[in-house]
């Protein structure tokens, strides 16, 4: 097993009386891709900022790349690539000028060579003189990733990097991420897309600052012990709301033209389904739980 690139325990951050990150433990081996999932406001960005040395935790301890997150934040910053949720480079500079600026910040030797390598690595050479503000979402994403990689970090923290880009750009981006992991770079990436989550080696799911699930996709689904029934043709909002409030039902959520009803107690779940109109009840069928079923039910369970 590769050495741990991230090894933190009890990570906590508060703003006033609000606890944004609540005693989170996270370990991630070198060369692994970990999907960081959770609803908006769950503490993902705050956690990433503590890991890369931009925020000091109020409680907790641990290390990133072998450096103490409290005492050696400056060393961590030089070894980590952090891609923020929003495009953070200068739109009135060209791609090359932006990369040269970042290379200056890291005081890289042979700066021109470092910029040329970054341009080539992300397929940006042909657009090097184009202004960043004129780029599409997918090309801005490539530029931001190139800037995150220019100093050859061993750990990448990517905060919703594919939000707002087209499906092809998302696929190309993930191909690049897997190539980086194959080179030994560790990646922690937050995402809301379930198809992206399933491309990760392992997952961590947080809600309201708490770590609710951790492991591979198959392990998380298996450990949830979730019973799921699919009810096609159920569109009536009042009936769906009745299902959600029925004893034993953790979630009732639309999936395409059907509703997935999930819970842990099979008998209570069947009793809730029996309250449906006969035609809908007859069409209901048990299905295997998906990752999305599990996450929706996790949120519902904590909220309850």
Work out the percent of the chain whose per-residue pLDDT is above 70.
98
What is the reported pLDDT for 301?
Answer: 66
- Spatial distance between the Cα atoms of 225 and 26, rounded to a whole number of angstroms: 23
Q: What is the pLDDT of residue 259?
A: 96
SS3 state at 94? strand
Q: Are 207 and 39 in contact (CB under 8 A)?
A: yes
* Alpha-carbon span 296 to 263, nearest angstrom: 11
pLDDT of 302 over the 80 cut: no
Q: What integer best gives the mean pLDDT of the chain?
A: 93
d(CA 109, CA 117): 13
Compute the distance between CA of residue 184 and CA of residue 191 in angstroms, rounded to an integer: 21
C-alpha distances out from residue 215 to 129, 158, 200, 219, 222, Å: 43, 19, 10, 6, 10
pLDDT in tens, 270-296: 999 999 999 999 999 999 999 999 998
| pLDDT, position 165 | 80
**Mean pLDDT score, 211-222:** 95
Average pLDDT over residues 133-152: 93
C-alpha to C-alpha distance for 41 and 299, rounded to whole angstroms: 13
20 in helix, strand or coil? strand
Query: 168-181 as b/e, with b when 16 or more CB fall inside 10 Å?
Result: ebbebbbebbeebb
pLDDT digits (tens, 9 = 90+) for 28-45: 999 999 999 998 889 999
SS3 260: strand
Query: Is it the case that residue 264 has pLDDT exceeding 60?
Result: yes
pLDDT band at residue 1 under the 50/70/90 scheme:
very low
The C-alpha atoms of residue 139 and residue 119 are separated, in whole angstroms, by 12
Confidence band, pLDDT 50/70/90 cuts, at residue 164? confident
Asked whether the predicted pLDDT for residue 303 surpasses 60, the reply is no
Q: What is the band of 193 on the pLDDT scale with cuts at 50, 70, 90?
A: confident
Average pLDDT on 236-264 reads: 94
pLDDT band at 304 (very low <50, low <70, confident <90, very high): low
The average pLDDT across 208-225 equals 94
| pLDDT of res. 162 | 86
CA geometry: angle 147, 128, 98, nearest 5 deg: 40
Q: Does domain 4-215 have CATH number 3.40.50.2300?
A: no
Band of residue 169 on the pLDDT scale cut at 50, 70, 90: confident
Distance of alpha carbon 55 from alpha carbon 73, whole angstroms:
9
Q: Structural domain boundaries of the chain?
A: 4-215, 225-303
> 3-state class of 48 per DSSP?
helix
Instruction: Enter the pTM of the model.
Output: 0.90
**pLDDT tens column, 111-140:** 999 999 999 999 999 999 999 999 998 899
DSSP H or E run through 205: strand 202-207
Q: What value does the mean pLDDT take over residues 55-78? A: 95
Where does 225-303 sit in CATH, by number? 3.30.70
Mean pLDDT of 186-190: 97
């Amino acid at each position: 097993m590769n050495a741990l690139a991230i090894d933190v325990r009890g990570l906590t951050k508060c703003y006033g009386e609000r606890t944004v990150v609540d005693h989170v433990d996270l370990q991630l081996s070198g060369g692994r891709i970990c999907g960081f999932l959770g609803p908006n406001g769950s503490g993902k960005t705050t956690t990433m900022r503590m890991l890369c040395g931009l925020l000091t935790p109020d409680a907790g301890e641990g290390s990133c790349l072998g450096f103490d997150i409290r005492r050696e934040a400056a060393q961590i910053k030089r070894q980590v690539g952090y891609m923020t949720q929003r495009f953070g480079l200068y739109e009135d500079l060209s791609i090359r000028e932006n990369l040269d600026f970042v290379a200056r910040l890291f005081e890289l030797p042979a700066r021109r060579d470092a910029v040329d390598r970054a341009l080539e690595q992300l397929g940006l050479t042909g657009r090097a003189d184009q202004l960043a503000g004129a780029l599409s979402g997918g090309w801005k994403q490539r530029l931001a990733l190139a800037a995150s990689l220019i100093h050859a970090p061993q750990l990448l923290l990517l905060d919703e990097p594919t939000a707002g880009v087209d499906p092809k750009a998302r696929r190309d981006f993930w191909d690049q991420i897997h190539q980086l992991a194959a080179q030994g770079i560790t990646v922690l990436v937050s995402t809301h897309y379930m198809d992206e989550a399933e491309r990760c080696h392992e997952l961590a799911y947080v809600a309201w600052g708490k770590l609710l699930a951790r492991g591979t996709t198959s392990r998380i689904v298996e450990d949830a012990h979730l019973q799921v029934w699919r009810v096609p043709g159920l569109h009536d909002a009042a009936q769906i709301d009745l299902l959600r409030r029925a004893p034993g039902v953790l979630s009732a959520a639309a999936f395409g033209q059907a509703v997935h009803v999930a819970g842990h107690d099979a008998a209570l779940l069947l009793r809730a389904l029996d309250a449906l109109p006969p035609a809908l009840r007859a069409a209901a069928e048990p299905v295997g739980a998906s990752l999305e079923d599990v996450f929706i039910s996790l949120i519902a369970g904590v909220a309850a």
